[in-house]
Structure formats: structure tokens, C-alpha cells
Structure 1
């Protein structure tokens, strides 16, 4: 089909108005939806095996210790929708990762309000990385950022751990693409 034939077909299309009252969507309905999304996460257990849905829900509810509870809904395969009751619990779970279930990493995505849950990428995660054997003069936030950026996006640095006991390392939380290979030390 050439461009002229396509243009002819498009010109033949018409949309006729239906005779019914025009209604405006109540902005409060949109706000309710936005609030619900702000309390939700989508998680995927990265394993080729299908996880036991009930076991996943039971274990995560026990391990997470959320103050007001979380409803976990199965979406498909190893994908779950997590509906928290407050933002603090949601933020704590997201920031306290990485989480795992049955020796498999759980990757979280935040809902945006557009798109389909089943088409989410689930291709980024976060890990705490320990940087060992640094000289004392290198036990700084800046050095932690420098080494952390070699892996991915630096989210946080923990210098306190290095000050406890005889530890000589820096902990850095790094977000990175799962498609990237990590180099062995």
C-alpha cells in the first residue's frame, strides 16, 4: 500500500459525536489514584523457577516488619504488586534492599501511572558494596563515591561501619543495571 492509498483510507475515517452529556473527570479521582500509586511497588523475583505465591507473601510479610501492613497481590509469573499503607514502610523496604526470596534477588520498580506492569523492565537493582583494604587517609566519602561510581549510581555511603571495631572498609549502596557484569576483586 503506497502513501496515496493510505491517505485516501484515512480521509474516509470519521468520528461522529454521540449525543450524550459531556462529563469532566473529577480531579479528586485522579488524586486518589496518584496516592494509591505512591504507596505501591512492583516486585519481581529473578529466578527461572516459579515461586510459591503464598510462601512469598507469608515470608515477606514476616521479614519486612511493616508497621501498618502490606497487601501483596500476584500479577503474573514471579511478579507481585505491593500495596503499602504508609509511605514510610514503602521507603524503608525500597531503601533497605537488596531483598531476596528463596536465594533469588527481588527487583523493585516504582509505578508511574502509565504502561503495563507486565512490561516493566526489572533491569536495575541496588547492592551494598564493601570496599576493603583502603589506607586510613582514603576512608572518606569522596573515595567511596569514586569507587562506587565505577560500578553504578551511588545512592548512599556508610562510613560508620568502618569506625566500628577494627573494620577497615567503606560500605556504598550502588544501583546498577543487571545487564552489566560485575568484575571480581
Structure 2
């Protein structure tokens, strides 16, 4: 894992990471390799030293096609996560990074307390085992809190809310009770950023359709649409 200073040095190269990867892929495509030419090194994934270096890893992706300062990204994310110990970054693409926390508590905060924003763009995170090729790991989900407004108390039941939000994403957490000062229920979902947001839900009772507004908390720009 590169040190923060190494990561900043790598970031100064702009598109150098992508160019180097493309050149290497082109080089191997031109080789006519036979099986006998390989002298494979077999890695023991249970090796304690390897396990230590692969602890508390994540992959992060800034959900934008625009260029940005990687140094500013490191600074802003450290401020947002407020870790108790150091967090290291290594760029693997212009907007994709290997991130390593130094303790479980900091890693869990990074992974569980989002959504995270950088310049109002979504920062998507997923666990990383340290062994897989980073380009083969899909980073498409974003945990977000949503609110269903004006939902009557009789409908504030787990099974009903699950049906209402079946298209919103994987349900992670519900807070159906205790909202004595507000008129909504809060639900945390794992949203697929390739899919549109759920803007409303509806219930048919006594042949009458009742429509309830869905709002999102601390949501960033993604899918080229600004949402609240």
C-alpha cells in the first residue's frame, strides 16, 4: 500500500495511470505466450503478512466523468470521515482509488455512515479483498437514507414498507417508530446508481389510490440529474 505522499505523487501525473494500463495491455496482446513460458508464483492467501496488508481495504469511486484534484479528494474525504488513525489512498484510475484504514472502527465508519460527497458528487465505496484486480470490481451502489412523507401510522409496518420500496434498492435499515416530531418514516437503502430514484410510492385502499412523496437525505449529483 502506497503512502499518502506516494499517492499524491501518482496523482500529479493526471491520466498517467490509464495510459500505463492501456500500454501494458497492448503489450501483452502482442505477445504469443505458451503455457511453458509461465513460471507462476503461488500465493498463500492465508499468509499472516498478506492478511495484515489486506486488512480494512475499500475501493472508492467518485461518480463523475469530470477531472478533479486527487489531492483535494484525499483531503476532503479525510475531513468527512474524521478517522481516529491514518487513512491511505492509492489511485488506480483517474476517479478510482484503493483506500486503507488503520483500524476497524474507521473502516466501518467509511463503509456504513454514508452517503459521502465530494464537490457534491457521490463517492461510492465497496469492500476490497486486496487480491482482486481493481478494474474487475463493480462499484455501483450507494447507501442512502430516504423518507416517505405523510405515511399514516397504520401503514408504518415493516412488511408494507418493504413492498412500497421494492424498486428503491436493497433495504438496509428502517426507522418506523419514534418520529414523534416529524411526519415521515426513514429507510436506508442500497441504491443502484444506474437506476432512477423512486420519487413516490402509492397504496390502493378502498379502490382509492393514495400517493406519498419520497425524499432523499444528503444526496449528490449522479446520473446527470441533480436531486435533493
Q: Is residue 60 of structure 2 the alignment partner of residue 33 of structure 1?
A: no
Q: Is residue 180 of structure 2 the alignment partner of residue 171 of structure 1?
A: no
Over 3 Å counting, the alpha-carbon distance change for 1:74 and 1:15 in structure 2 is: closer
Q: Is residue 76 of structure 2 the alignment partner of residue 59 of structure 1?
A: yes
Taking only aligned residues, the RMSD between alpha carbons, in angstroms, comes to 2.6
Q: Is residue 135 of structure 2 the alignment partner of residue 118 of structure 1?
A: yes
Corresponding residue to 1:181 among 193, 196, 205? 196
Give the TM-score taking structure 2 as reference length: 0.63
Give the TM-score taking structure 1 as reference length: 0.76
By how many angstroms is 1:58 displaced?
0.8
**Range 122-131 or range 135-144, more displaced:** 135-144
Per-residue Cα deviation, 1:18-59 (whole angstroms, up to 9, x for no partner): 9xxxx996776x233234333011100011112211111111
Q: Which structure would you say has the larger Rg?
A: 1
Unpaired segments ≥5 residues, structure 2:
1-33, 201-228
Over 3 Å counting, the alpha-carbon distance change for 1:38 and 1:24 in structure 2 is: closer
Contact 1:99 1:105 in 2 (8 A): yes
Distance 1:14 1:57 in 2: 42
Unpaired segments ≥5 residues, structure 1:
1-12
Spell out the pairing of 1:63-78 with structure 2 (5 A cutoff). Answer: 63-78=80-95
Contact 1:161 1:169 in 2 (8 A): no
